Amino acid sequence: MTQANKLILDYVYAHEKAHANQVFLTQPLGGGRVADYTWTQTLDQARRMATHLKALGYEPGARIGILSKNCAHFFMAELAIWMAGYTTVAIFPTESAQTIQYVLEHSGASLLFVGKLDTWPDQEPGVPAQMPRIAFPLAPATSYDTWDAITARNAPMDGQPARPGTDLAMLIYTSGSTGQPKGVMHSFERITAATELAVAQSMSQNVGPNEVHRVLSYLPLAHVFERAVVECASFVSGQLHVYFAESLETFAADLQRARPTIFVSVPRLWLKFQQAVFAKMPQKKLSLLLSIPIVKGIVAKKILTGLGLDQTILAFSGSAPLPADLIRWYRSLGLQLLEGLGMTEDFAYSHTATPQFSEPGYVGVANPGVQARISPEGEILIKSPGQLVGYYKRPDLDAEAFTADGFFHTGDLGMVAPDGQLKITGRMKELFKTSKGKYVAPAPIENLINVHPMVEISLVGGLGYEAAFAIVVLAEDLRPRQNDPALRAEVTQALQSLLAQVNAQVADYEHLKFIVVAAHPWQIENGMLTPTMKIKRSNIETSIAARLDGWYASGEKVLWA
């Protein structure tokens, strides 16, 4: 049960009074300009929109959509939806018209907020023609009623509108690395319980409870990771100042503006940050400098300052496994990078590394209130305070998702060390069998590949073939020159060495036969990555299927697609 039966809106109302003039949200407006919103201003906006939404007369619990990149008005809209008695359905801002239509129709959404978007003309056909729409201030130009116009003509909703703990706060549609997105139902009592515990753990063990911490919100708020550890954590804590990123092009400047004391990211971005450092200073030279005690601190400080992370007390990575060597590298710079395990279905509340339990390659120990065990098949089973209520309109999936005694099937394979730390060894659905009859888990092998400075991201496959193979996307600084014969020769030699190094670290049945260099980067836009930048295995494997036989027959150790 939550603290004294307080729910997430109760915390928000308390902060509205206690921190009235404290800046809560900082929104870039372009051209280096920003808008700051205090707790009072944030709630005034949300209350005015809540008055409007309530007046529309939808049934209690009606689903209200948000299609927007991260921005201050996403937070305000979610609060307004909750205060009006409704349920939020957020959609990834990069989704296709087809997926947008599916989510809106499947959820039965009554209205859609349209916010910051890069490809709205391509997405708009996915919105049902008769669906009412409201445009955020930073939305593309439309003829829709606007947030500012609506809040100007409506009075703030009075009092402290409450929601029963069993009411649905949100449907989170999975990002869909495989198959059709599923709507995960989360109630107020469960998101509150998970967030309370997560905030208490982080504040008490890592950063201290009595100061305002800065965080940059840029990972998609439609995903559970950012929704839980940034938005809902800020609602419960009251001690987070949330900055938003303006665009990919301004990300470095946005990070420098925020100078976050808490920074949350995903493996692909942690790798890209490292590669940006190596692009300026070769890895061998940097390693040498970091090995000299008298200059190590100066060099490390300069690197973290350049990344905008010199003020970061606590850094988290989630969404996918992080290479252990990458964690060690960041820690060599003095950045306490911690990994965790969480899913949409447990509101990102399962396992987290702590300063006491932070072995690289492990995701820490079970969080307070979490029960975990390993099934006879090696699957991680979880019972979490943040457990989903169920899958929307899919009781068949509910029956498959839980054990008889209420543990959730995560689909992750893992092992537990004697001190209780959990190591993820792969995904059950990703396991594939070679023609020799042995199962291969690709993720651990990919992590060995991904730490190479010439590699941005990789995929290991080989279902039904004599041995596994890897396909890699070159690091961003190398891609413009990847047709240059001199660079190709250099990369080929480096990847041949990498192939030997990887094969020396894995079992014989996991040996890679060859490495292929992809002709084009994998992106969200070309369907090769999910909105949280995880690889879409089936799409990538389908795109290269016709060439696999030739690659295997070639006998080459490194090939170019």
Per the CB < 8 A criterion, the answer to whether 111 and 78 are in contact is no
Q: Give Cα separations from 540 to 473, 474, 500, 515, 524 (angstroms).
A: 12, 15, 24, 15, 12
Per the CB < 8 A criterion, the answer to whether 313 and 336 are in contact is yes
Distance, CA of 93 to chain centre: 14
pTM for this prediction: 0.87
pLDDT in tens, 133-157: 999 999 999 999 999 999 999 999 9
How far is 397 from 388, CA to CA, in rounded Å? 12
3-state helix, strand, coil in the chain (%, to 5): 40, 25, 40
Residues 6+ apart with CB under 8 A from 233: 195, 198, 199, 202, 240
- Greatest CA separation found in the chain? 73
**Each residue's pLDDT tens digit in the chain (561 positions)?**
455 689 999 999 999 999 999 999 999 999 989 999 999 999 999 999 999 999 999 999 999 999 999 999 999 999 999 999 999 999 999 999 999 999 999 999 999 999 999 999 999 999 999 999 999 999 999 999 999 999 999 999 999 999 999 999 999 998 655 567 899 999 999 999 999 999 887 765 555 666 889 999 999 999 999 999 999 999 999 999 999 999 988 998 999 999 999 999 988 889 889 988 988 888 889 889 988 988 899 999 999 999 999 999 989 998 777 888 899 999 999 998 999 999 999 999 999 998 888 898 899 999 999 999 999 999 999 999 999 999 999 998 888 899 999 999 999 999 999 999 999 988 888 888 888 888 898 988 998 999 899 999 999 999 999 999 999 999 998 999 999 999 999 999 999 999 999 999 999 899 999 999 999 999 988 889 888 788 889 899 999 999 999 999 999 999 999
415 DSSP β-pair partners: 423
Is residue 402 packed enough to be buried (19+ CB in 10 Å), middle (13-18) or exposed (0-12)? Answer: middle
| Residue 299: its H or E element | helix 293-307
240 DSSP β-pair partners: 213
How far is 493 from 485, CA to CA, in rounded Å? 12
Residue reference for tokens 């911690």: 338
145 DSSP β-pair partners: 134
What values do phi and psi take at 379, rounded to 5?
Answer: -85, 140
Residue of 183, 120, 108, 68 lying closest to 531 (CA atoms): 68
- Domains present along the chain, CATH in parentheses: 29-186+215-226 (3.40.50.980), 262-310+312-423 (3.40.50.12780), 431-560 (3.30.300.30)
Which pLDDT belongs to residue 208? 60
Range list of β-strands (E), 128-199 = 133-135, 145-146, 168-173, 183-187
Q: Give Cα separations from 50 to 62, 107, 138, 231, 377 (angstroms).
A: 13, 20, 20, 18, 48
